[in-house]
Every structure is written in structure tokens, then in C-alpha cells.
Amino acid sequence: MNKVIKVLSLVLVLTSSVYLPSAFAVTANNTASTTEMLITLAETDPVLIDRLNDIALTDKKLLKQLLNMAESEPVKLERLLNLAERNAHMFWMIANIYNAQSITLEQPVDEQPFSTFGAISDGGIIQN
């Protein structure tokens, strides 16, 4: 029984570690592209950088939302910032819609996938 648990634990660790590099790459890529966008803006539009700096000092949540929604596009960032300054209520409604896209709804219990490799009954594993 201990061998089975050790093998299952090892399989679980190995399968979960496969996804870590790709998740890190997406996060690193997004951060790098945001940094590139900010550097480009600093070189071409220092007024926009000054506005973003003011937001960074006063409202970090707004800044994070702006950078996420801009998707590393300077024009989109400026439009979103203008909207946030002109009509904050409308901006946050758009932000809620944007954030709702990324949330995945859990499947009902009836539709969830399940494994048929074996079943535990009375302390032992019954092989199918």
C-alpha cells in the first residue's frame, strides 16, 4: 500500500511540474512586455508616464487594472487612462467585464471528469 501511495505521489508531482515552466513563461513574458511598453512610453510620451506614476502613488489597484487591460499596447493604455479619469464608473464596469472573461466557471459535479484506474474499498485498491 505504501508503494502505491509513493508511486501516485511521484506521478502527481511529475505531472504538475510539467505545467510550471509554461506558467512562469507566460508571467515573465507579460511582465517583460509591460516593461518594454513603459520604457517606450518613457522615451516617447513622458507626460503619460507622469500620469501613471501619480496613479502608482495613489491607487495601485487602478494601475494594475490599467496595465492588465492595456495588454502592453500604449495606445490602449492611454485610452483606458483617459476613460478612468473622465468616467471612473464606466471604467470599472468595463474592468469588471474584462475580469469576468478570465474567470472559469466550475463544472457541475455530474459533468466533472473522473478516473477509472481503481477504486478504494475497505482500505485496499481494487484494480479494474
Map residue 124 onto helix, strand or coil.
Answer: strand
Report phi then psi at 66, rounded to 5: -60, -45
60-70 vs 88-102: helix crossing angle, rounded to 10:
60
Q: Where are the alpha helices (DSSP H) in 45-118?
A: 46-58, 60-70, 74-86, 88-102
Instruction: Note the pLDDT tens digit of each residue in 27-52.
Output: 445 567 888 989 988 999 999 999 99
- What are the extents of the domains in the chain? 2-101
pLDDT value of position 111? 59
Output 111 or 17, whichever has higher pLDDT: 111
SS3 label, residue 107: coil
Query: Rounded to an integer, what distance in angstroms lies between the CA atom of residue 56 and that of residue 50?
Result: 10
The predicted model gives 96-109 an average pLDDT of: 72
